[in-house]
Amino acid sequence: MPALTVLRQSPRTLLLTAAAVPLALALADDVRVRRQLQAAGRDELTQLPRRKGLNAYGKKAIARHRADGHLVLVLDGDGFKAVNDTYGHAAGDQVVVTLAARLREWTTTHRGLAARLGGDEFGAVVALPRHQAHQELADLRAHMNRPVPYEGLHLPFSVSVGAAHSTDLPGRPWTTVLRAADVAMYRVKNREVPFPYLGTAADSAVEPVNGRRPGRPGTHLRPPAGTPALASAALTA
């Protein structure tokens, strides 16, 4: 009979092997946790990042001070409540999902990021020279405003788009550029300015009401007595 070959392992090898097993399990668990945290940071309906993700991305982008600068956008649906009231909330969800997909497609092409800020409101930041901004904004709005397919119907829908370019606000932080884009969107929606319109330094300096941009829901309410004033950086919250 052939002799049996006995594989002998030193105590050191056995010790390292035993240590490697829990380490591998720990690494696998860490990857799982990271994926869960990443998923938790995305909007469940659209799978876009939420406001926190946009702020983190935008802050880093603006801090790079690219010569061509960045275009920051805020988009808000027109008549979204009417869609929900007429066709139901499932139709409203389809509108939001479709808008998110269209904006994601555009921002990916332009080396940027799109996020859902809440409801039918979105934000984005892309690397784009200022001289291209007006044409790109017009193209984007036309792309976003196409009817939304839903159960054999084509729901008419449009968005108001406001934007600000970092080169118009040199040295300003992300929150200031985002505020200018938010105010620009509000002014476009209310037809105070023609579209396309880029937010100015004056727009970025608009004082908040109850910590929010004037005109947003809740800004007409008087804050409770003793409530500390909110920082102007919260204007786009």
Tens of pLDDT, residue by residue over 97-132, are 999 999 999 999 999 999 999 999 999 999 999 999
Q: Where are the domains of the chain?
A: 45-206, 208-237
* Angstrom distances, CA of residue 163 to CA of 20, 105, 184, 231: 52, 18, 6, 22
3-state secondary structure the chain: CCCCCCCCCCHHHHHHHHHHHHHHHHHHHHHHHHHHHHHHCECCCCCCECHHHHHHHHHHHHHCCCCCCEEEEEEEEECHHHHHHHHCHHHHHHHHHHHHHHHHHHHHHCCEEEEEEECCEEEEEEECCHHHHHHHHHHHHHHHCCCEEECCEEECCEEEEEEEEHHHCCCCCHHHHHHHHHHHHHHHHCCCCCCCCECCHHHHCCCCECCECCCCCCCCCCCCCCCCCCCHHHHHC
Q: Which two tokens stand for residue 46?
A: 């659209």
Strands 70-78 and 158-165, sheet pairing: antiparallel
Q: Please state, rounded to an integer, the average pLDDT across all residues of the chain.
A: 82
Q: How much is the pLDDT for 233?
A: 40
Residue 120 falls in the annotated catalytic set: yes
Confidence of residue 18 (pLDDT cuts 50, 70, 90): low
CA-nearest of 61, 73, 57 to 180 is: 73
Q: Give the residue-averaged pLDDT of 168-197.
A: 96
C-beta separation of 114 from 100 below 8 A: yes
0.95 exceeded by pTM: no
Instruction: With CA atoms as reference, report the closest residue to 144 among 101, 188, 195.
Output: 101
* Cα 102 to the center of its chain, rounded Å: 13
**What pLDDT is stored for residue 48 in this prediction?**
96
Q: Give the residue, 13 or 92, on which the prediction is more confident.
A: 92
Determine which one of 120, 168, 182, 203 is catalytic. 120
CB 176 within 8 A of CB 70: no
Q: What is the pLDDT of residue 6?
A: 46
**pLDDT tens per residue across span 223-234:** 555 554 443 443
The model's pLDDT over 205-222, given as tens digits with 9 standing for 90+, comes to: 998 765 555 565 544 445
Can you give the pLDDT at residue 127?
Answer: 95
What confidence score (pLDDT) does residue 110 get?
Answer: 94
CATH node for 45-206: 3.30.70.270
